[in-house]
Homo-oligomer: A and B are copies of this chain.
Amino acid sequence: MTLKLDKVNRGPHLSTLVASSISREIAQGRLKPGDQLPTEQALATTFGVSRNVVREAIARLRSEGRIWSQQGRGAFVADATNATVLTIDYETLQRADSFRNLFELRGMLEVQIAALAATRRSDADIVAMEQALDGMRTAPYGSVAWLKNDLGFHRAVAEATQNPYMGQFLVFVSERVRESILAAGNQQKSDDMARTTLGEHERILAAIKAGDAKGASAAMTRHLAGAASRVGLPGGNAAAKPASSARHSRLRKAVRGQAAG
């Protein structure tokens, strides 16, 4: 049988724990922009780790634009708008409303992207969409191959806009949505769903092929509504996950037995 381990392995590294701890201090306002962080040595002792680990954590936060450091002075909290990367951390992803919100954002992008794709698609884009659709036809519904081709179809649509950022953003949001779905884990499959989903995709492709922007966005809207109901969105925000609070058992060697159950 396929034993589904939760993919929360999420950094047994101490530096990850330190980084998210500091990150939380910033997010919750206990460290405001401009504030100076404690020295690396102080952080090392308070967290009970070596200064090296603290430095890895700081390197990570610095690359995210959250903090900024200068030799001889110290490390400081950066302005929020300086963030050079867009990140959605795992904890907020687990909240019940985050799935609905992400889905809404995804829909907003998809509908507009479909319309744009209909007016700009090239022949190669059409081929890519058809290939992804074929891949979905030959894979069992909900399997890894199916999901991969599903995402591939939507990415092909996004790339048909000839705007690379569309695909980049859409894939990013879609992946977060997919993680949310997996975290909820309440999806049920049926052959009926496979047929319905395929039909929705085919209608999207047909509209894009015909260069019908309005039709494409309408078909995409229908597809998203169907997908929402398939994952139990309308009234069913079934967030039955027990909130994973087994995490902070004080740093150090608490990470040993994270087999979870």
Contacts and interface: CB of A to CB of B under 8 A. Distances in A.
Question: In the complex this chain forms, how many copies of it are found?
Answer: 2
A202 interface: no
Interface of A: 11-13, 15-16, 19, 52, 55-57, 59-60, 62-64, 68, 71, 79, 81-88, 98, 101-102, 104-105, 108-109, 112-113, 116, 151, 163-166, 168-169, 171-173, 175, 258-259, 261
B102 A59 contact: no
A165 B56 contact: no
B163 A81 contact: no
Q: Chain A contact residues: over half helix, strand or loop, or mixed?
A: helix
Contact of A63 (B64, B88, B165): B64
A59 B113 CA distance: 35
A105 B166 contact: yes
6 contacts: A11-B62, A13-B62, A52-B52, A57-B59, A105-B163, A108-B113
A115 to B, nearest CB: 10
A13 B68 CA distance: 12
A67 to B, nearest CB: 13
B85 A165 contact: no
A64 B85 contact: yes
Contact of A59 (B56, B81, B87): B56
Contacts of A62: 11, 13
Give the one of A52, A63, A173 with max B CB within 10 A: A63
Given A55-B56, A86-B172, A151-B81, A63 B19 contact: yes
Nearest to A7: B70
A37 to B, nearest CB: 16
A60 B62 CA distance: 9
Given A56-B59, A60-B60, A83-B175, 16 more contacts: A13-B62, A15-B59, A16-B63, A55-B56, A60-B63, A81-B151, A81-B171, A82-B259, A84-B87, A85-B86, A104-B163, A104-B165, A105-B163, A105-B165, A105-B166, A108-B112
